[in-house]
Structure 1
Amino acid sequence: MSAFPFDIAAASVLGREHARAGRNNQDALCVRASEHGLVAVVADGCGSQPCSELGAQLGVRRLVQAALQRLAEGERVEESTFLPGLREDVLCLLGELRADLGRDALGDFLFTVVGAVVTPEKTLVFSAGDGVWALNGEVHPLGPFPGNAPPYLAYALIRGDEVPLAARALVPTEDVHALMLGTDGAVDLSRLATTRIPDKDEPVGPLSRLWTEDRYFANPDALRRHLTLLNRESVRADFEARRMVRTPGLLPDDTTVVVLRRRMGRA
């Protein structure tokens, strides 16, 4: 990824409520690069499905692979056919899996998407469903949707809905200084600025810390450790009341974040 002037931090943590229910992390992320571009995608599997992490993992990998392949074949992100082509690439994979595994498997292929394709000339941000993205410090939540039911790409195969991959931003790459992609759990994170970190006498701080603080890019595990710390249950003794006080983790939902930050001194 050194061909592009961005440092990358990425992490995913299990949400508090999923941990209590004994469920897996249903989020996924994938970041890859070639000489043609850098692609990053996060996804959130439908919480009501037992194995939606499967669809989320397959979805992010297929989107990233397909985007890089299209760039290698000379397609440009600003072309009107780029995102519809990516959508069809994913639906073709899911359609093949339905044929092999049966229609019942389609429920596990329900996932939201927030992604970006970065080329030397242009940067495209896109989504389907809820989540959050931020460009140069300006944060853009996606959703919520009525009934907490975001549109999923796989609805095209289940009930014929034409859910698109929607373009959220198309800007010159030279104007991109910081870009964040997050699942809807990161929306909860954005609301915690003044909340105290469990077992620490300091606030979580604003979401902008994720792209302004060097530590998240200096250590590849720093972002994961930070999110894990926020979601750790705190237990302390209240001696005056003679009881134990439990403070739950701060992130109720699975939380996944990818952050790109321009390297200092690089154009």
Structure 2
Amino acid sequence: MGAGRAGWRIHGMSVEGYRHRRDGRPCQDACAHTVSGQVAVLAVADGAGSRPRSEEGSRLAVDLAVEHFVRRSSAAVDTPPGEAVHDLLTDAFHDVTKVFLDTTGASAADFATTLTVVVLTPGWLGHLTVGDGFVVLRAGTEDGERQFHALPQPAAVSEYSNETVFLTSPDAARRIHTDCVCDPGVDGVLLSTDGLAQAALSRSAGGAPMPNASFADAVFRSLDTTPGPVSDSAHENLAALLRSDRLTALNADDKTLLRAVREVRA
């Protein structure tokens, strides 16, 4: 998928991991984006591998997310950064959850999925996540080197558990995390599911996520250097990267990478 409007070039995909390829099972990740006027919305989701319809759940989640987040954000594009943006993101999440649960009904748990969303507007960047997806921003330079910043993730379910929260979890509304970033220097955004966490992130001594600068720089640079519509070769190159032995050795799960770089106006 690729697009270049609202001042951003956007490209990404989801691919099945080694285990799913080996077993002949479909990819349970999904990603989507949309653009409306000055607003772009990007979303990624990771269906729970243990649930029978999680592939459908992740697809439904990202489709609903881009629809409802762009609707809320386009209607409030002039909202100043701050608490109002957090409220907007939370309201859009409730819209998504309501339709998701209405659509899946009594079988909702079978469609369990995480969800991570980024909203790009002229005045602010909004971020909402439930589960273990992550976002890396490119903003500014230091000593001539590009700088990368990982946005905070939701707190772990418990100190002793690596269990994640899903859109369908009873306490999902209390487990979401939102951010509002107001920095005109942001010129790159990367969203991913946890299948790329080992490649894209490390952990500080305090446990906070830190971007792998070499990985992020390569991912953004390959989109920077191909102006205009995203080519077939760029799409094939990203697919080859996500299926590469190097990344598979780090994590055999499905992988999603959705990236956006700010277009340079002539």
> How would you bin the TM-score normalised by the shorter chain?
0.7 to 0.9
Residue in 1 aligned with 2:56?
54
Residue in 2 aligned with 1:185?
195
Distance, in Å, in 2 between the alignment partners of 1:23 and 1:179 is 30
Distance, in Å, in 2 between the alignment partners of 1:98 and 1:179 is 31
Post-superposition offset of 1:51 = 1.8
Q: Give 2:149's match in structure 1, choosing from 138, 148, 153.
A: 138
Residue identity opposite 1:57 in structure 2: R
**Residues 165, 175 of structure 2: 8 Å contact kept:** no
Q: Secondary structure at the match of 2:182?
A: strand
Q: Give 1:154's match in structure 2, choosing from 161, 168, 171.
A: 168
Q: Give 1:170's match in structure 2, choosing from 168, 177, 181.
A: 181
Distance, in Å, in 2 between the alignment partners of 1:150 and 1:96 is 23
**Residues 28, 47 of structure 2: 8 Å contact kept:** yes
Cα distance 1:91–1:252, how it changes in 2: closer, same or farther (>3 A)? same
Post-superposition offset of 1:11 = 1.6
Q: Give 1:210's match in structure 2, choosing from 204, 215, 219.
A: 219
Cα distance 1:22–1:232, how it changes in 2: closer, same or farther (>3 A)? same
**Residues 25, 254 of structure 1: 8 Å contact kept:** yes
Distance, in Å, in 2 between the alignment partners of 1:161 and 1:40 is 20
Distance, in Å, in 2 between the alignment partners of 1:36 and 1:263 is 13
Residue in 1 aligned with 2:252?
252
Residue in 1 aligned with 2:237?
225
Residue in 1 aligned with 2:209?
none
Distance, in Å, in 1 between the alignment partners of 2:46 and 2:225 is 26
Cα distance 1:83–1:164, how it changes in 2: closer, same or farther (>3 A)? farther
**Residues 16, 249 of structure 1: 8 Å contact kept:** no
Q: Secondary structure at the match of 1:181?
A: strand
State which drifts further: 163-172 or 57-66: 163-172
Cα distance 1:46–1:37, how it changes in 2: closer, same or farther (>3 A)? same
Post-superposition offset of 1:20 = 1.8
Residue identity opposite 1:258 in structure 2: L
Residue in 2 aligned with 1:261?
261
State which drifts further: 122-131 or 160-169: 160-169
Cα distance 1:224–1:207, how it changes in 2: closer, same or farther (>3 A)? farther
Q: Hey, which of these two has a bigger chunk of helix by percent?
A: 2
- The count of residues paired between Structure 1 and Structure 2 equals 234
Post-superposition offset of 1:139 = 3.4
1:84 matched to 2:90? The reply is: yes
Q: TM-score, normalised by structure 2?
A: 0.76
Q: TM-score, normalised by structure 1?
A: 0.75
**Residues 230, 251 of structure 1: 8 Å contact kept:** no
Cα distance 1:74–1:148, how it changes in 2: closer, same or farther (>3 A)? same
Cα distance 1:191–1:124, how it changes in 2: closer, same or farther (>3 A)? closer
**Residues 196, 256 of structure 2: 8 Å contact kept:** yes
Who wins on radius of gyration, i.e. which is larger? 1
Q: Deviations over 1:6-40 (max 9, x none)?
A: 21121211111122222210001111011141100
Percent sequence identity is 25
Q: Secondary structure at the match of 1:55?
A: helix
Cα distance 1:233–1:6, how it changes in 2: closer, same or farther (>3 A)? closer
Cα distance 1:140–1:253, how it changes in 2: closer, same or farther (>3 A)? farther
Unaligned runs of 5+ in 1: 193-204, 235-247
